[in-house]
Structure 1
Amino acid sequence: MNENFDSLLSSVQNDRVKQWASLLDKKYRDRSGQFLIEGVHLVLEALRGTAKVTTIVYDAERGIPGELKLERETNDTDATLGLEWVQASRSVMSKCTGTDTPPPVFAILSKLSVHKEALYRKNGLVVVLDGVRDPGNAGTIIRSADAVGADAVILGKGCVDLYNPKTVRSTMGSLFHLPIIEADLKELLPEAKEKGMKLIGTSLQAEHTCYGYDWTQSTWLLMGSESEGLSPEVRALVDESVIIPMVGQAESLNVAMAATVLLYESLRQRAYNK
């Protein structure tokens, strides 16, 4: 198809442009059930995953990015069937992404739908975030969970919004690769214990290191906020705490680094301990 047939939006006062730009605000994301992703890599990852992409908007001056031209020409796969392509002026691209130097492309998606079955798989591994407020930390933990083949990630109340543009960017597309659930941990954690999941936290007072825990069993790894760790309500539900040993002078690891160390010890035991 010829990209010249795509409609052109040039005014930042256009109603659709205002609607897309409003997705930078959590209130409007929640109200519409949609969110925005930006950049070629994220758009490609969304199209290759199970996300429902409704509209792709590209910079009219630069044209469709080369990496996306095949999707534009076919437009008949499950991911691209019925997908709307729109050209936009540089000012529209900037307004909708909240950046002075806008990306060449952004897309509008429906929020991800997730089924809870992934949480309770036999010998499964689930990462639970309790009050992790930094988008970079949350995104990095989601990437690490994806990298080690975890079954799901749960964001408890008080965590950064999954669909915050900074969180989305920092996942580097991993949010399209595994189930990510936003939930009330006070309800979900007791349910997990009833189903036989072991709830594992970290503590400087722990008697066992992370290398002494058996990560091959059904495990939910609980990681707390950057400044305060796990909340008292969540800590009370923990079955066992582990400590990451440190032999140098560093006072601590940040939550994303700590989660990654623990997840890779889990991977080592599960896949490389034969």
Structure 2
Amino acid sequence: MNEVKKISSLQNPLVKKVLLLKDKARERKKSGLFVLEGRRELQLAIKGDYEVSTLLSCETLVSEAEVRVLIDGLKRRPQLVTISKEVYQKIAYRETTEGIVALAKSKLHTLEDVVLENKNPLVLVAEAPEKPGNIGALLRTADAANVDAVLIANPKGDLYNPNTIRSSIGCVFTTTIGLGSTSEIIAFLKSNGVGIFCAALTASKNYTDIDFNASTAIVVGTEATGLSQEWLQHSTQNIIIPMRGEIDSMNVSVSAAILVFEALRQRELKGSK
């Protein structure tokens, strides 16, 4: 069994390290570590085969026995640390994480690691998403629809930003994610025979008039600028969600959800997935 270390000082180097990793993307990139909170997030990270290096538990909220049950699925045991409530309140983003904070090793998410095993894959592509909340919401949509992969082109945000993890409710750990440039992802999709359906205002067809039963990538851009011209040049077909109000766009995660679930609806009717 791992020896359990105890920390009660806010000045402890490990406490300072956790705070730095939470606040600084540069530190996360440099160290290859990130912070996660909560039992559900920890369980999903374990399910996603993440390596947890350190697990901190608040001694007044969770017992050592409960902690050992939580890490039972890990191949490599993390360093176990019990922390005082004062320390926990300092390093935790929210009070509903049941006394669990952990440090884990990030993944590279290269396109080479993305394998589309389904013969008619459904892929969600987002170009240049930046806001952690939007990235997290896109991942939740992908999880809910059980898409085959999420590809992020020209990523601006940090997948391991605590707000991304929190807004994804841990789906970031169990979703197949690939990162690359727009050119690289277009080449990846074409090499895998995946049709490219771009959400765009020009030369578009109503999304309900499109057959999404074959291999499909639904591609969404930012609300501010939409998709780059490179995507539109390689689009199999541009698609649009008709707007009935005064504005011409919706939140990117909402648009993605509508399009992905239309594809899913068609596939369930036809029995293609």
TM tier relative to shorter chain: 0.7 to 0.9
2:262 alignment partner, SS class: helix
Looking at structure 1, the residues matched to 10 and 230 of structure 2 have their Cα atoms a distance apart, in angstroms, of 46
Asked if the contact 2:223/2:250 (under 8 Å) is kept, the reply is no
Tell me what 2:7 maps to. Answer: 9
Q: Which amino acid aligns with 1:112?
A: K
Deviation, structure 1 residue 144: 0.8
Instruction: Please give the residue correspondences for 1:63-102 in structure 2 after superposition, counting only pairs within 5 Å.
Output: 63-64=62-63, 69=66, 72-73=68-69, 75-77=71-73, 79=74, 81-97=76-92, 99=93
Is 1:271 aligned to 2:259, yes or no? no
Q: Which amino acid aligns with 1:172?
A: I
Instruction: Please give the residue correspondences for 1:157-196 in structure 2 after superposition, counting only pairs within 5 Å.
Output: 157-196=154-193
Looking at structure 2, the residues matched to 239 and 120 of structure 1 have their Cα atoms a distance apart, in angstroms, of 22
Tell me what 2:153 maps to. Answer: 156
User: In structure 2, do the counterparts of structure 1 residues 74 and 203 end up closer, same or farther at CA, with 3 Å as the change threshold?
Assistant: closer
Q: Which amino acid aligns with 1:268?
A: R
- Kindly tell me the number of residue pairs found equivalent between the two proteins: 267
Task: List gaps (5 residues or longer) in structure 1.
Answer: none
Looking at structure 2, the residues matched to 48 and 158 of structure 1 have their Cα atoms a distance apart, in angstroms, of 25
2:165 alignment partner, SS class: helix
2:115 alignment partner, SS class: helix
Asked if the contact 1:47/1:80 (under 8 Å) is kept, the reply is no
Q: Which amino acid aligns with 1:203?
A: A
255-264 vs 143-152, greater mean Cα deviation: 143-152
Looking at structure 2, the residues matched to 31 and 87 of structure 1 have their Cα atoms a distance apart, in angstroms, of 26
Looking at structure 1, the residues matched to 145 and 95 of structure 2 have their Cα atoms a distance apart, in angstroms, of 34
1:13 alignment partner, SS class: coil
Looking at structure 2, the residues matched to 118 and 75 of structure 1 have their Cα atoms a distance apart, in angstroms, of 28
Scaled by the length of structure 1, the TM-score of the pair is: 0.86
Instruction: Please give the residue correspondences for 1:103-118 in structure 2 after superposition, counting only pairs within 5 Å.
Output: 103=97, 104-112=99-107, 114=109, 116-118=113-115
Asked if the contact 1:132/1:226 (under 8 Å) is kept, the reply is no
Asked if the contact 1:139/1:170 (under 8 Å) is kept, the reply is yes
Match of 1:237 among 217, 234, 239: 234
* Percent of aligned pairs with the same amino acid: 31
Deviation, structure 1 residue 38: 0.9
Tell me what 1:38 maps to. Answer: 37
CA deviations on 1:137-162 (whole Å, 9 max, x unpaired) are 11111111111111111122243111
Asked if the contact 1:94/1:102 (under 8 Å) is kept, the reply is no
Q: Which amino acid aligns with 2:176?
A: P
Task: List gaps (5 residues or longer) in structure 2.
Answer: none
Q: Which amino acid aligns with 2:152?
A: L
Tell me what 2:19 maps to. Answer: 21
2:133 alignment partner, SS class: helix
RMSD (Å) for aligned C-alpha atoms: 2.6
Asked if the contact 1:216/1:266 (under 8 Å) is kept, the reply is yes
Looking at structure 2, the residues matched to 210 and 154 of structure 1 have their Cα atoms a distance apart, in angstroms, of 20
Deviation, structure 1 residue 57: 0.7
User: In structure 2, do the counterparts of structure 1 residues 189 and 37 end up closer, same or farther at CA, with 3 Å as the change threshold?
Assistant: same
Q: Which amino acid aligns with 2:13?
A: D
Scaled by the length of structure 2, the TM-score of the pair is: 0.86
CA deviations on 1:43-91 (whole Å, 9 max, x unpaired) are 22223332222221111232339xx81x5148543x2652322111234
Looking at structure 2, the residues matched to 215 and 74 of structure 1 have their Cα atoms a distance apart, in angstroms, of 40
Asked if the contact 2:155/2:180 (under 8 Å) is kept, the reply is no
